[in-house]
Amino acid sequence: MGEIVFQNTLSGRKEAFTPLHAGDVRMYTCGPTVYDFAHIGNFRTFVFQDVLRRFLRARGFRVRQVMNLTDVDDRIIQNAAAAGAGIREYTDRYIQAFLEDMRLLHLEMPETLARATDHIDDMAALVAQLLENGFAYRSDGSIYFRIARFPCYGALSKMDFSGIQAGARVDVDRYEKDDARDFALWKEHKPGEHFWETRIGPGRPGWHLECSTMALKYLGPTLDFHTGGVDLVFPHHENEIAQSEAATGQPFVRYWLHAEHLLVNGEKMSKSAGNFYTLRDLFARGHRPSAIRFLLASVPYRRQLNFTFEGLEQAASSVERLRNFAARLREARLADSGAPDSGAPFAPRIVEAEARFEAGLEDDLNTAQALAAVFDLVREINTAIDRGEFAAADAAAALAFLGRFDAIFAVLGGDDLETLRALGYAESGAPLADDDVAARVRERREARQRRDFEAADRIRRELAERGIILEDLKDGTVRWKRT
């Protein structure tokens, strides 16, 4: 297998990947702010980081990933207060929803899921350290990071701050800062607002603090990967670098990877714009988790992805094609065609397809290219099966490759309809049991044998209404599947 390269935001270039510690990958992912349900724009980024960690794991790396859950910020404090709930109570609900969404989209669980409010003391300790070594200062009850002490500031976002003169006392908002660029590490306690009593005094953490704190705590001073959406490059990640490196004196992150935005009608999907869909919105319209995941994963992460329902339906068709193929392979393997034992003529082609699949992913997770390799093989094998030139041995190998494909894309497994039904989104009532379907299939076969096609078609129609699709195969047997 070839070298893996990633586009590193810090250098602005593609760089070959080698982990800091051989065989061991440490990655941090900016998770959701749990003041509401996450929307599919958010999940675009989460699917991307999931593909990344799955790919790395498939390559044999041990992955240790931390994802934060931001359960304290201005909105949460306001919303919780408005709802007459505690912060914890208020955010619990959205955390549960987020975890459920993760499961539905087949997002692997990070090794550590870290809740900000569980780390207040750790954050205070980090701030105390920054106060001690002169990178932070107190002003009007709040504590700020002193950018002037950190010359590399702006390296990630490539922003030029020379226009803003350091040292001048600038009045921004209601805060008193020494320098307009300085950002809040710790916000003063205001009457009536939620606060924590800590070694650095009462108050609440600034936005950026939690990520630095939890990353350093669980992963050490230097991480291999830090992922998030492009909108986090500035100021969030820039500030994380400042805080972390000021505290440790060591490079914080080796590879910064940022996912481009999901657009809707050509505009960024966002809560504030109101142009967003949650997973639940899409489920309610009958769309499936596998199609959503496929859509989000199929466009390489560094490209903006314009979300449309047409696109979602196209993704569903693609998944269907792959699932049909998998079903066909399983049959081919069982059937053991009895063809003259010609070994496994497709073996070289499968190896080749897999190499192309891997090469796509190695190139900065080019999922579109990886998928092309898969679909090419699908077509070739389908053709061979049609011609009766496909051996059982090949089916096993193809199925194994498909398994490796799905270890990354995770769209073949699971019963979408069951999932939706369990959540109360599926249209039809109780699913038909396998035995019942089999009985009706038998009934239909008898009808067909006496050439009573009217009765046969009626049964097929009835089953279709219950979400069962029948396929008459050449050998007279019937394959069926649930839609």
Partner RNA sequence: GGCGCGGUACCCAAGAGGCCAAAGGGGGAGGUCUGCAAAACCUCUAAUCGUGGGUUCGACUCCCACCCGCGCCUCCA
Percent helix, percent strand, percent coil in the chain, to nearest 5? 45, 20, 35
Is the Cβ–Cβ distance between 353 and 374 less than 8 Å?
Answer: yes
Is 267 one of the binding residues for RNA (CB under 7 A)? yes
Is 243 one of the binding residues for RNA (CB under 7 A)? no
Q: Which is nearer to RNA, 79 or 324 (CB)?
A: 324
Among 470, 466, 467, smallest CA distance to 457 is for 470
Give me the least distance between CB of 132 and RNA, in Å please: 25
Give me the least distance between CB of 315 and RNA, in Å please: 7
In the set 11, 78, 165, 308, which binds RNA (CB under 7 A)? Answer: 308
**And the tokens for 303?**
């490209």
Of residues 81 through 140, those in contact with RNA by CB under 7 A are none
From 222-230, 334-342, 345-353, 403-411, span contacting RNA (CB under 7 A): 222-230
**And the tokens for 280?**
């639940």
d(CA 349, CA 435): 38
The amino acid sitting at 286 is: G
Is 382 one of the binding residues for RNA (CB under 7 A)? yes
Give me the least distance between CB of 207 and RNA, in Å please: 5
In the set 58, 230, 423, 432, which binds RNA (CB under 7 A)? Answer: 230
Give me the least distance between CB of 298 and RNA, in Å please: 7
Give the H/E segment covering residue 137.
strand 136-139
List of E strands, 239-394: 253-259, 262-264, 267-268, 305-307
Q: Which is nearer to RNA, 31 or 289 (CB)?
A: 31
Give the H/E segment covering residue 381.
helix 367-386
From 84-92, 100-108, 140-148, 378-386, span contacting RNA (CB under 7 A): 378-386
Pattern 336-365, RNA, x by CB under 7 A? ---------------------------x--
d(CA 220, CA 181): 27
From the number of C-beta atoms within 10 Å of its C-beta (0-12, 13-18, 19+), residue 223 rates as buried
Is 8 one of the binding residues for RNA (CB under 7 A)? no
Give me the least distance between CB of 23 and RNA, in Å please: 28
**Beta pairing class for 253-259 and 223-229:** parallel
Give me the least distance between CB of 68 and RNA, in Å please: 10
Give me the least distance between CB of 21 and RNA, in Å please: 26
d(CA 194, CA 190): 8
In the set 89, 281, 386, 415, which binds RNA (CB under 7 A)? Answer: 386
Among 109, 28, 117, smallest CA distance to 71 is for 117
DSSP state letter for 237: I
Give me the least distance between CB of 414 and RNA, in Å please: 19
Is 232 one of the binding residues for RNA (CB under 7 A)? yes
Of residues 309 through 328, those in contact with RNA by CB under 7 A are 310-311, 313-314, 317-318, 320-321, 324-325, 328
d(CA 437, CA 450): 20
Give me the least distance between CB of 421 and RNA, in Å please: 22
Give me the least distance between CB of 6 and RNA, in Å please: 13
Q: Which is nearer to RNA, 26 or 258 (CB)?
A: 258
Q: Which is nearer to RNA, 453 or 462 (CB)?
A: 453
- The 8 Å CB, 24+ separation contacts for 176-183 are 176/139, 176/140, 177/139, 177/144, 178/137, 178/139, 178/144, 178/146, 178/148, 179/146, 179/147, 179/148, 181/147, 181/153, 182/144, 182/145, 182/146, 182/147, 183/144, 183/145, 183/147, 183/208, 183/235, 183/239
Binders of RNA: how many residues, by CB under 7 A?
A: 83
In the set 259, 279, 292, 412, which binds RNA (CB under 7 A)? Answer: 259
Give me the least distance between CB of 249 and RNA, in Å please: 26
Of residues 137 through 166, those in contact with RNA by CB under 7 A are 157-160
Residues across the chain:
483
In the set 137, 195, 218, 234, which binds RNA (CB under 7 A)? Answer: 234
Instruction: Report CA 398 to chain centroid distance, whole Å.
Output: 26
Q: Which is nearer to RNA, 337 or 366 (CB)?
A: 366
In the set 133, 342, 383, 477, which binds RNA (CB under 7 A)? Answer: 383
Of residues 395 through 434, those in contact with RNA by CB under 7 A are none
Question: Which residue in the block uniquely carries the two structure tokens 């953490």?
Answer: 205
**And the tokens for 471?**
């396929």
Of residues 277 through 306, those in contact with RNA by CB under 7 A are 298-300, 302-306
In the set 125, 369, 414, 421, which binds RNA (CB under 7 A)? Answer: 369
DSSP state letter for 221: S
201: three-class secondary structure by DSSP: strand
Of residues 23 through 42, those in contact with RNA by CB under 7 A are 30-33, 41-42
Of residues 42 through 71, those in contact with RNA by CB under 7 A are 42, 44-45, 70
Is 205 one of the binding residues for RNA (CB under 7 A)? no
